[in-house]
Amino acid sequence: MRAAIVSIGSAVPPRAVSSAALAHRLDVTDEWIHSRTGIRERHIASAGGVSELIVPAAVQCIERRGITADDVDCVIVATTTPDYLFPPTAAIVQGKLGARRAWGFDLSAACSGFAYALLVGEGLIATGRARRVLLCAGERMSAITNPADRGTSILFGDAATAVLLEPATADDEGGVIDSVCRTDPVDPALLYMPAGGSARPASLESVLQREHYVMQDGPAVFRAAVEGLSGMTSVLLERNRLGVDDIDWFIPHQANRRIIDAVARRVGVPAEKVASNIDHYGNTAATSIPLCIAEWYERGNLRRGDRVVLASFGAGFTMSAIYLRWSMAPLAAPDAARTSFDGALRGNRTTVGA
């Protein structure tokens, strides 16, 4: 039984922080940031847990499908920045939605979170364990990013998405077709948050040493991301006997514009087939792939039957590539219940309180 994405929703905080504003604080230039990352702005939540971002995205997703929260069988939340270590953020989201019949859990795979959770949800549907899986991805990366670190503070943004998975209908060729996943257990210190877990519990010392923020070896992560994303994509295409001419869209993790361009060159995907919105959102970790999917769908770029390849890479190092056929019909009209934070390029994306 093939699992298909039948609805999607997304949410971003209304406060956009430009690279020019960060540049002034970090004693660099706007062009210095843009040339290294491709990012012009990112959206930052001022307060609240990631569940407050996820719930509006989930509500939009459910309402687009024309169902209620009680129709959902399982809630999965992919996140690096849960509200708490426990209870799972999925339980908090489920309670806020009123999804009384569902069960749920969190999935932690860093920036590969959505891709890994998509395959878990697919498995639940394929085995008949669930018929409707609400797969949420949400990040408040600003909560774990050191504002004084120019290597990380320029990269990350906050956002949330939700997709609804259901069994593909008998006459629908859409859904998840194939996937490849791998974890390369390298030195954790290349990309990690040193304190806050059981290996180094929070203490006065860990706070004073700013060990509750993301730390990374930028050049090492850059090289590994290019190799991982391009390698996984090439394996997937070869396994399915696909050439780049056979796919309609390549949607990689929105880590860094230079990484995206390098991967596309290695795989041979032309620029017009690469979906990217990193310029306006930055790196939103587990949310980056579905946020790009949502925007491409709302623009009318994604059409039913399109062949799509997703590619993820995250701390661990976790990585994957997924081949799917798009199942959703085009939007009939903009959803009047949603509000636009800019009314132009990025469509009518739901905004949430700062």
* Active-site residue, 24 included: no
Mean pLDDT of 258-275: 98
Does residue 262 carry a pLDDT above 50?
A: yes
CA distance 328 to 33: 36
**Per-residue model confidence (pLDDT) at position 89:** 98
**Per-residue model confidence (pLDDT) at position 349:** 61
DSSP code of 283? Answer: B
How many Cβ atoms from other residues are within 10 Å of residue 238's Cβ? 11
Q: How far apart are the two ends of the chain, measured CA to CA in Å?
A: 41
**Per-residue model confidence (pLDDT) at position 351:** 67
DSSP code of 168? Answer: P
182-185 long-range contacts, CB within 8 A, separation 24+ = 182/228, 182/232, 182/318, 182/319, 182/320, 183/316, 183/317, 183/318, 183/319, 184/224, 184/228, 184/316, 184/317, 184/319, 185/316, 185/317
Listed by start position, the domains of the chain span 3-173+341-351, 175-325
Nearest to 254 by CA among 48, 15, 42, 56: 42
pTM (predicted TM-score) = 0.94
**Per-residue model confidence (pLDDT) at position 342:** 33
What are the tens digits of pLDDT across the range 47-85?
999 999 999 999 999 999 999 999 999 999 999 999 999
Which of these is catalytic: 43, 253, 277, 280? 253
* Active-site residue, 111 included: yes
CA distance 150 to 44: 16
**Per-residue model confidence (pLDDT) at position 306:** 97
CATH of 175-325, one of 3.40.190.290, 3.40.228.10, 3.40.50.1450, 3.40.47.10: 3.40.47.10
**Per-residue model confidence (pLDDT) at position 230:** 98
CA distance 200 to 202: 7
Does residue 98 carry a pLDDT above 80?
A: yes
Which amino acid would we find at residue 256? N
Which of these is catalytic: 43, 61, 74, 111? 111
Query: pLDDT-based confidence at 337, cuts 50/70/90?
Result: very low
Q: How far is CA 142 from CA 47, 90, 284, 293, 313, in A?
A: 10, 20, 10, 22, 20
Does residue 346 carry a pLDDT above 70?
A: no
**Per-residue model confidence (pLDDT) at position 353:** 59
Q: Output phi, psi for 169, to 5 deg.
A: -70, 160
What are the tens digits of pLDDT across the range 102-160?
999 999 999 999 999 999 999 999 999 999 999 999 999 999 999 999 999 999 999 99
Mean of per-residue pLDDT scores for the chain: 94
- β-partners of residue 191 are 216
The more confident residue out of 336 and 158 is 158
What are the tens digits of pLDDT across the range 294-324?
999 999 999 999 999 999 999 999 999 999 9
Contact, 300 vs 217, CB < 8 A? no
CATH superfamily of 3-173+341-351: Thiolase/Chalcone synthase (3.40.47.10)
Maximum Cα–Cα distance for the chain, whole Å?
60
Q: At what angle do helices 257-267 and 218-239 cross, to 10 degrees?
A: 30
- Return all residues near 236 (Cβ < 8 A) that are at least 6 apart: 178, 179, 180, 242, 309, 321, 322, 323
CA distance 183 to 170: 34
Which of these is catalytic: 74, 256, 277, 283? 283
Nearest to 258 by CA among 40, 37, 19, 41: 37
What are the tens digits of pLDDT across the range 168-200?
987 778 899 999 999 999 999 999 999 999 999
* Active-site residue, 348 included: no
Which amino acid would we find at residue 259? I
CA distance 253 to 156: 13
**Per-residue model confidence (pLDDT) at position 340:** 33
Is there a cis peptide before residue 87, judged by omega within 30 degrees of 0? Answer: yes
Contact, 333 vs 344, CB < 8 A? no
Nearest to 354 by CA among 97, 140, 148, 40: 140
Mean pLDDT of 251-257: 98
**Per-residue model confidence (pLDDT) at position 345:** 31
**Per-residue model confidence (pLDDT) at position 138:** 98
**Per-residue model confidence (pLDDT) at position 336:** 37
Does residue 335 carry a pLDDT above 50?
A: no
Report helix, strand or coil for 112.
Answer: helix
